[in-house]
């Protein structure tokens, strides 16, 4: 996916579409799969996505005492990451779940209500490229498997830097490129031949999962994405590959 500010065309999977159409197409994907999104994550990754998310929460490292801590979880509509963070933190840990998709947010609200966490987790609908929050509002910003679907990634990164307090941390969990010889071919075979049909069976939407697979291949390589994070103003930028490079956890600090 090519997403430079000012582009008139962007890659949607392996197709080129006008940048103005990208967000609508992404919205259509998540409207159709919202109700079974977490189930599909379990099936597609054989449950390994839970370990990836635990690594993200460990990196967030919310205080376990009474110090106030406020997380912004972007593209986190189902509330999965937010719930993990507030349960890992102390009584003053809060989270705001932010997502552009109302259907995903509805799933998240229901989940959080069932866990009795409405008092510490709230939900806001909007666009990651223009966050409706004041400067220096949050202690941490997380986005898990969502930034590759943002049409203008540079805008989203700049907004992340803006809303973080000095000393705040940006953390992004995203699919990447396998770095183990031979794994890339197996990964492609599995991704293109198993995931779309599985998505069709579970959600009734094969094409949405075809897009999700294709979008991974178009996302910048870890080094290139790290450069984009640095260009947004973050310092001490780093990334950690996991599961043979299938996923990378990116980090940057607002100093």
> Could you tell me the two tokens for 198?
């599985």
- Compare 250 and 192 and report the one with higher pLDDT: 250
Tell me what pLDDT residue 24 has. 58
Q: Are 230 and 237 in contact (CB under 8 A)?
A: yes
Q: Where are the domains of the chain?
A: 9-253
The stretch 159-183 carries a mean pLDDT of 94
- Residue 10 confidence (pLDDT) above 50: no
**% of the chain beyond a pLDDT of 90:** 61
How much is the pTM? Answer: 0.85
Q: How far is Cα 23 from Cα 236, in angstroms, rounded to an integer?
A: 31
Q: Where are the beta strands (DSSP E) in 55-130?
A: 69-74, 93-99, 121-125
Strand duo 247-253 + 235-242: pairing: antiparallel
Mutual angle of helices 19-33 and 37-45, in 10-degree steps: 90
Integer Cα distance of 14 and 251 in angstroms: 28
pLDDT recorded at residue 171: 98
Higher pLDDT, 194 or 82: 82
Instruction: Please identify, in words, the CATH class of the domain defined by 9-253.
Output: alpha beta
Per residue in 108-148, pLDDT tens? Answer: 999 999 999 999 999 999 999 999 999 999 999 999 999 99
Does 192 score more than 70 pLDDT?
yes
Per-residue pLDDT at 136: 98
Contact 178, 244 (CB under 8 A): yes
Confidence at 5, pLDDT banded by 50, 70, 90: very low
């Amino acid at each position: 996916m090519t997403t430079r500010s000012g582009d008139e065309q962007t890659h949607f999977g392996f197709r080129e579409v006008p940048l103005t159409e990208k967000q609508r197409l992404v919205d259509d994907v998540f409207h159709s799969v919202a109700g079974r999104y977490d189930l599909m994550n379990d099936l597609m990754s054989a449950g390994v996505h839970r370990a990836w998310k635990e690594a993200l929460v460990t990196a967030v490292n919310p205080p376990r005492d009474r110090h106030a801590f406020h997380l912004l979880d972007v593209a986190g509509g189902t509330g999965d990451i937010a719930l993990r963070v507030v349960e890992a933190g102390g009584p003053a840990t809060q989270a705001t779940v932010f997502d552009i998709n109302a259907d995903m947010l509805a799933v998240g609200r229901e989940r959080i209500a069932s866990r009795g966490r409405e008092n510490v987790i709230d939900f806001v609908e909007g666009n990651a490229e223009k966050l409706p929050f004041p400067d220096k509002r949050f202690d941490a910003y997380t986005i898990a498997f969502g930034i590759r679907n943002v049409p203008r990634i540079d805008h989203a990164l700049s907004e992340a830097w803006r809303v973080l307090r000095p000393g705040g941390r940006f953390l992004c969990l995203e699919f990447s490129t396998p770095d183990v010889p031979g794994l890339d071919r197996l990964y492609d075979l599995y991704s293109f031949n198993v995931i779309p049909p599985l998505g069709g069976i579970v959600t009734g939407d094969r094409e949405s999962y075809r897009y999700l697979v294709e979008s991974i291949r178009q996302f910048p390589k870890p080094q290139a994405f790290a450069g984009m994070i640095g260009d947004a103003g973050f310092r001490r930028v780093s990334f950690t590959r996991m599961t043979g490079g299938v996923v990378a956890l990116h980090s940057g600090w607002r100093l």
